[in-house]
Copies of this chain bind each other. A is one copy, B any other.
């Protein structure tokens, strides 16, 4: 594949490195992993439609998540999306031109001159990612463009990303398939006398060997985690600082979430809630295993969660997210298990959330949500209970909202599976 390096700023740089391209055998990323241009165009149009509603002239993006959404790859630099037409990819690194939309820059201050040379007008109303970039980055970009008005690109992009394109749905289906395959193998790596952390590491290893990308992206400062969490027994009750549905004490005060290194004891549940990041698009899925027999209340609460999933799947496009949260609470109350619903010491105030490039996308199934289910949303639904002394129960699936029905992407046995 021929590589064209177009740099409007530093020609010597290009020549130097062209020499390397000629003399060495550089590996170019596998282009089959990129979304087709028609799919990117749909995303640009969606964002541009939202921009025109608030009279924004342009959008400047620098978070990895939104750069990926608008270009299909991650690079160091900026995406400039004008009110119509294609975006410009202002790339600092890596110095590989992937397509004709790429322009190399050294610093964001280079951008306005390049825009003028290309015949773009200077934006008087600009979108910046106010909930993603740091204060100093924002101030720097504001100074570069000095627009009359700035709106929040984070809100616009997160809303656009709620509705998945055909290619994005395809990616989620691939993740879901691998996710379920790995969960099916979990009983094979369990051994009596294991610590919760040892089981977690075996599952992580299974995931990585089956193509997990390792990290997963989260929105906001407050979502530190690794590849997901496993909660065994009473550790499921320990509250955590993070915005996940459940907690766990963690292995260190620097990462107080998930496994705490305790032995897995008989009569306890093991809840596995790992991120299915086998593509850029993550599925979210929880299954529960038991070591030995559990008290009846644990099986009962698990059944209530499964019934909530049945009711969720009987819903449809247009159902309100706050209604879903409310009928979950009602069902928990009717079953007499409300004080165990979504935790005990600290109870999460949501029962599900959008999922895609990030694990925590809108909409959120919470009391105050104003969103409704829409076609091509992908929703992780996770009504869970924490039974003191026993552990966490309940399942989580990732669902695709379709025009005529709700489809479960993470299909696998939903009952509590006993480990031997």
Contacts and interface: CB of A to CB of B under 8 A. Distances in A.
Contact of A95 (B23, B133, B222, B346): B346
The CB with the most chain B CB atoms within 10 A, among A92, A226, A243, is that of A226
Contact of A93 (B21, B131, B346): B346
Contact of A94 (B76, B240, B251): B240
A252 interface: yes
B135 A26 contact: no
A279 interface: yes
A318 interface: no
A108 interface: no
Contacts of A62: 221
A72 B253 contact: yes
Given A95-B345, A135-B138, A213 B254 contact: yes
Contact of A389 (B25, B74, B214, B260): B25
B345 A235 contact: no
Contacts of A94: 238-241, 247, 256, 345-346
A208 B204 contact: yes
Contacts of A7: none
Interface residues on A, range: 35 or more
A33 B234 contact: no
Interface in A24-45: 24-27, 29, 33-34
A305 interface: no
A24 B346 CA distance: 13
Contacts of A131: 134-136
A237 interface: yes
A303 interface: no
22 contacts: A17-B346, A24-B234, A24-B389, A25-B389, A27-B260, A34-B253, A64-B221, A73-B254, A76-B242, A76-B243, A92-B241, A93-B239, A93-B242, A95-B345, A130-B135, A135-B137, A201-B209, A204-B214, A215-B224, A215-B255, A217-B224, A252-B279
Interface of A: 17, 20-21, 23-27, 29, 33-34, 62-64, 68, 72-77, 92-96, 128, 130-139, 152, 198, 201, 204-205, 208-209, 211, 213-215, 217, 221-222, 224-227, 234-235, 237-243, 247, 249-256, 260, 279-280, 344-346, 357, 388-389
